[in-house]
Structure 1
Amino acid sequence: MKKQWKTKKTIAVWAVVSLMASTTAGCSGGEPKTAEPAAGETKAPLSIKMLAPLYEEVPDMKNQYWTELQKMTNSKLDIQWAPSGDYDTKFDLVLASGDIPEVIVGNSISRPTLATAIKQGAFWDLTPLLGDFKDYPNLKKNADIGVFKLARIDGKVWGIPRMRSEIDLSLKFRKDWADKLGLPLPKTLDEYAAVMKKIIESDPDGNGKKDTLGLIGHGGIVDDATGPFEAAFGGFTPTYDEDKGLIFHTLTPQYADMIEWFSKLYKDGVLAQEFSVMKKTQAEELYNTGRAVSYGRNTWRDWSMEQEIKKTQKNAEVVSLQLQGPKGPNILLGVPINAAFYISKKVPEEKVKQLLKYFETTASTEVMAFAYQGIKDVHYKMVDGQPMLTEQGTKEVNVTSLQPLALAFDKWVKVNNPSAPKAYNDAKKKEVEVYEKIGAKNPFNWLTSATWTSVWPKYDSEFKTMQTKAIVGQISVDEFKAYAEKLRKTPELKKAFQEFAEAEKEFNK
């Protein structure tokens, strides 16, 4: 392995403003309205202790954004922040300790430790409290989209989902470098690999060294981009064993085919040699400083990354690639929720009802608009008919500031960039709107198995090691395929596949 790069702290600016015209209009006239307490509610701000992931610097909860947000929601937020890269570890430790705060943000609705904690009675069953949602009209709108169905375990609602756009991830690519060599944009995975190989061998940044990286990512294989590549190999097409059990997607033959493809990329130098140990901050810095050809992240980042690269490479042009694989395009749709909020069983029932009212308020279109824009003339100004963040807005309105909010649904929030011109955002929406029709979904984002939850952790580390060995050539791909087949025949995993199949049937009802 090459020596890892040193990274400096960076602040990721993330505040997408593709809100519906009615939403924008409702907040463009000045100060946001403050939510009035409903009958029976206390007028004093509701104090909420919460564990949530941190994506930038620890925020100043007394700044203008957080002060106004808490005023709008009649709340006093006491948030324990944990860095996003270490959040799953922190989440598991908190659950294991039993010292769970009033509200905890779950990063994945299918996380095994979460399912275990729920079965052990760590959280409130919200099903009877929410009822038919007649007291929660904003949450009902979200429920009508079907997101509460995705958050169920054993047919019950355990968490309040945080809304998210399904159109999200895309594969970044340096079009200007391809243009420089007279190469057309690739349309297939094989063309993608061939074009990148030519680019990295050509000294595209002109520094006199052939040190440009091809495809980069962070953790696992290429983390955010792994799912879209898996979609191209048909990895999310339901696949069953000889007993009609639903095989977990990473154990399917299609997944092994993807590993074989990655092994070829690695051998050709197209996949970064440090792929298995690279951190998210490293990958971001490498791409933003013009050191790599391709990187998979949220679509809205195309503009931001291009502008960062232009600071040192003025002709940079970043585009999102739609590539055809053996079994489909490299498009993976997200689940329309980004985790959920779980309420500790230690919280008294009366306060649980107050917390539900808080989440009801945060799911309004008004709070949604504020969450992405902040205060007019403080955090944003209207430019060419759309909100554009100010310098203060880019500091205070970001991914971290969204964490305590349930939000409403808007399918463009992961596409539009608040710093980009309206014409750019409109063109980007037109470019990716087809994703809704052609994209795959990972059913294991909502299907659960008690057996898988309890058994897979003892295989997980070894599996990741084996896939890395196969990619870097320490074992053959055939050996990896034989290893995956052996796992598929393990009795306890076959039992898990049966449970996944039953969960699929139940979900499809």
Structure 2
Amino acid sequence: MKVLSCKVFSFTMLVALSLGVIAGCGGEKQNPQAGEAAGVPSNLKVKFMVPSYADVPDMNDEYWTKFQKDSKSQLDVEWIPSGDYDTKFDLVLASGSIPEVIVAGNITRPTLQTAVKQGAFWDLAPFLGDFSNYPNLKNNSFKDVWKYMKTDGGIYGVPRNRPHIDISLKMRKDWLDKFNLPVPTTLDEYTAALKTMVNGDPDANGKKDTVGLIGQGFLLADGDGSFLSAFGGLDPVYDKDGGLINKLLTPNYTDMVGYFRQLYTDGILAKDFSAIKQTQAEEMYTTGRAASYARNIWRDFTFEQGIKKVQPEGDVISLPPMKGPGGVSVQLSVPFSGAFYISKQVPQEKVKQILDFFERTTTMEQTDYNYYGIEGVHYTMVEGQQQLTDLGKKQVTANGTGAIFPLAYNNKMKVINPAAPKAYNDAKSKSVETYSTAGKIDFFSIINSNTWISIWPKYTSEWQSMVIKAIVGQISMDEYKAYVEKLNSSPDFKKAYQEFTKEYKEKFLQ
């Protein structure tokens, strides 16, 4: 398929970056008034750089043609494979040649915060004002999300609104039934069930080769928060001086490392857990080789359909909140998936036009369009629910269409699978409705510390290595605890924790 107006950048190696130099990003702050833009441009041309989680879309297909026409825009989009995005993102910031609009997947990413402080992006607060000219951006976003966007008092990002209910720990219900096991309601029951499965032969292939728990990246990526929540690690944990300890260096996280160490010893955790890529994890799960995996809830149907091709009895469920030593196994997503940042190289008048574009597209109508596309082309109505056509599955579901506009906040988006029957979606929604009250968000995805930004990159690789060594048994848990204690005792870390405390109070306690 020929793709127009899109560029894909892939990497085969990491590039060392200098975080302290952001070229060409200067300029004095100006004081525009919100809503000064003279009407809606007939054809806004804007360049984006965004992550791609599937195939790169054809910007001239039916979906994107209608979207650009309705939103009065011409989009020049550089789609970067999600696995390469952070590296490309850092390279672009270091170069100073920043596209007009760039997506930051993590608003606390050190390179982003450094660029913000060095003037790479517009402070949007003067444009937005009291939001009287941007009612959609205000009313169709989560109530506190603009407070979360602040850095040093300014608003630099436009949030990509997303639901709180998103990730679940999945398990093969048919394998639970095969061994006459109940659906786990505690972490101990979950662990015991996985041990039974890896020691049995749930796929009846005559081999004991089933993997209990898989993930992707470091450690389990999407699954880390669910387990950390069960250990109480998504609650504030303070040191003796009242400093808010980063979640990665709390006793709770250390307890989770010890739990994974036992899973690894018992053959439950995938032996190559630290090296598995997302595509590999998906392939393992959809070919029926693993019992449990953490990803978006809406993927349950997709995974189950893949499994049924090789194991017709396949039944994937999202587990209920399971009680652990310090909480339950549900991490709620923060109500945004990163944010859009507008380069300071963009003229002031065009900044207003881009904000107007975001205002026009932050509606439930546009969100439904993102999810289903065009009636009669991408979906038909079946029993009161949009049912995607084959073209819809190709152009809507598979291409990450929510990358370009903020969407409206809602709690259905990561649960409902538009390719699934209504009865399936209704049952899935009901099965996870308790998540919203039981789970916790990772507030470290929202709060910042200038000191942490400057020091943590120096320790990240070393700390990750120590975690992996502790899990696989290359060092003892006592050695790992001593390493963590050494970091936490450092004056720089103590200073960072005091800054976290200040940010936490400002964004969550006021």
Normalised by the length of structure 2, the TM-score is 0.91
Q: Which residue of 2 aligns with 1:401?
A: 401
Contact 2:40 2:356 survives alignment (8 Å): no
Contact 1:216 1:292 survives alignment (8 Å): yes
Q: Which residue of 1 aligns with 2:76?
A: 78
Q: Which residue of 1 aligns with 2:6?
A: none
Q: Which residue of 1 aligns with 2:271?
A: 273
Q: Which residue of 2 aligns with 1:6?
A: none
User: For 1:500 and 1:65, how far apart are their aligned partners in 2?
Assistant: 43
Displacement after TM superposition at 1:253 (Å): 0.4
Pick from 129, 135, 138 the counterpart of residue 137 of structure 1: 135
Q: Which residue of 2 aligns with 1:446?
A: 446
Displacement after TM superposition at 1:43 (Å): 4.2
How many residues end up aligned between the 2 structures?
473
Q: Which residue of 2 aligns with 1:101?
A: 99
Q: Quick one: which amino acid aligns to residue 426 of structure 2?
A: D
User: For 2:467 and 2:435, how far apart are their aligned partners in 1?
Assistant: 29
Contact 1:142 1:148 survives alignment (8 Å): no
User: For 1:372 and 1:348, how far apart are their aligned partners in 2?
Assistant: 32
Question: Over aligned residues, Cα RMSD in angstroms?
Answer: 1.4
Q: Which residue of 2 aligns with 1:328?
A: 327
User: For 2:403 and 2:211, how far apart are their aligned partners in 1?
Assistant: 33
User: For 2:67 and 2:343, how far apart are their aligned partners in 1?
Assistant: 23
User: For 1:295 and 1:477, how far apart are their aligned partners in 2?
Assistant: 25
Superposed CA deviations along residues 128-183 of structure 1, whole A, max 9, x for unmatched, are: 10001111111021356121111111122101101100011100100101211222
Detail structure 1 runs of 4+ shifted over 2 Å in the superposition: 37-44
- SS of aligned partner of 2:106: coil
Identity, in percent, stands at 55
Alignment gaps of 5+ in structure 1: 1-36
Superposed CA deviations along residues 355-385 of structure 1, whole A, max 9, x for unmatched, are: 0000111102221111111000110110110
Displacement after TM superposition at 1:106 (Å): 0.7
In the alignment, structure 1 residue 490 sits paired with structure 2 residue 490: yes
Change in Cα spacing, 1:263 to 1:286, as seen in structure 2 (3 Å) is: same
- SS of aligned partner of 1:171: strand
Q: Which residue of 2 aligns with 1:5?
A: none
Q: Which residue of 1 aligns with 2:303?
A: 305
User: For 1:65 and 1:372, how far apart are their aligned partners in 2?
Assistant: 11
Contact 2:169 2:292 survives alignment (8 Å): yes
User: For 2:277 and 2:152, how far apart are their aligned partners in 1?
Assistant: 35
Alignment gaps of 5+ in structure 2: 1-34
Q: Which residue of 2 aligns with 1:14?
A: none
Most deviating of 449-458 and 395-404: 395-404
Contact 1:449 1:499 survives alignment (8 Å): yes
Superposed CA deviations along residues 419-449 of structure 1, whole A, max 9, x for unmatched, are: 2221221122121111111101111111100
Contact 2:487 2:493 survives alignment (8 Å): yes
Contact 1:213 1:270 survives alignment (8 Å): yes
- SS of aligned partner of 1:294: strand
Q: Which residue of 2 aligns with 1:376?
A: 375
User: For 1:432 and 1:503, how far apart are their aligned partners in 2?
Assistant: 31
If asked which structure has higher relative contact order (CA below 8 Å, sep 6+), I would say: 1
Q: Quick one: which amino acid aligns to residue 61 of structure 2?
A: N
User: For 2:181 and 2:123, how far apart are their aligned partners in 1?
Assistant: 56
Most deviating of 80-89 and 137-146: 137-146
User: For 2:134 and 2:294, how far apart are their aligned partners in 1?
Assistant: 37
User: For 1:194 and 1:223, how far apart are their aligned partners in 2?
Assistant: 22
Displacement after TM superposition at 1:328 (Å): 1.1
Q: Which residue of 2 aligns with 1:385?
A: 384
Q: Which residue of 2 aligns with 1:410?
A: 410
Q: Quick one: which amino acid aligns to residue 343 of structure 1?
A: I
Q: Which residue of 2 aligns with 1:179?
A: 177
Q: Which residue of 2 aligns with 1:366?
A: 365
Q: Which residue of 2 aligns with 1:283?
A: 281
Pick from 224, 227, 236 the counterpart of residue 226 of structure 1: 224
Q: Quick one: which amino acid aligns to residue 357 of structure 2?
A: Y
- SS of aligned partner of 1:329: coil
Q: Quick one: which amino acid aligns to residue 49 of structure 1?
A: K
Displacement after TM superposition at 1:38 (Å): 11
Q: Which residue of 1 aligns with 2:421?
A: 421
Q: Quick one: which amino acid aligns to residue 337 of structure 1?
A: F
Q: Which residue of 1 aligns with 2:356?
A: 357
Q: Which residue of 1 aligns with 2:215?
A: 217
Displacement after TM superposition at 1:396 (Å): 0.6
